[in-house]
Structure 1
């Protein structure tokens, strides 16, 4: 589906208040020569919490946020500075992780009902050593992406907004699941 047709379909879905056809919208945005396989709605487990102190801000909240960021990053992001995992965004924004034949790409969107996708990051598939399901959690799963440089990054999926083929296609990336 071309971008114009995807946009028209999206506009009609938004007017009716339905979920957009994420598959068509994301497939239309992939780099030329990359084939769409599937997508999942993910959030970094170790998302970076705001530690700024604004006017009238609470210093204790900033300290707690800083400690939480440090502890969470140690558990859910591995690898030295400059590693593939350390280069991934830690924003608290939910994004769509798109599995392509040649690339993984992360697309930020303002809400699950939006069609305004912005490319956040792209990584060649050859850099992915494995994807492992760590455990199931309420409304989703924790998955770990391990890269060829030995680094890793954990995400939480949102099962209600995951393409039905997502976990099957993760198998082509080397998914190992404790629940399978």
Structure 2
């Protein structure tokens, strides 16, 4: 399982590209409504995206991710559950949701991966990324393998994810 922060639509593309470079073909979770548009649906299928609903229906996507993890597959999940605008992450990380912690009980370790600079390349308010800029933004990716104690559950895992992300972002 790979747990990422989420600043831009570019994040899953960067993570999947890096994983595939190393021979790993992960599944990602993506908002279900993104599958409604033909172009984004095609991109999401290439990324092996799992439709994720919100609220009470969110468990459907998490259960599919759970089955994939149980089969030995790699699943990428954004711990924040959504793209977090800059003003909602004063310390570099937004509020973490429970999905990553809920899935973590199936694994003995996870990789926590942080991305910075992706929101400079593809800001939330833009339909497409910036292709040409005079001042090229720098995207930084940092990762750490985190072993999981079988006794850890819920908030303890969320706290571990947040602390690891914070350290990785501070190193950037």
Asked whether the two chains share a fold, i.e. TM above 0.5, the reply is: no
Greater relative contact order (Cα 8 A, min sep 6): structure 1 or 2? Answer: 2
Q: 1 or 2, which has the higher strand percentage? A: 1
Q: 1 or 2, which has the higher helix percentage? A: 2
Q: Under a length normalisation based on structure 1, what TM-score does the superposition of the two structures give?
A: 0.29
Q: Under a length normalisation based on structure 2, what TM-score does the superposition of the two structures give?
A: 0.30
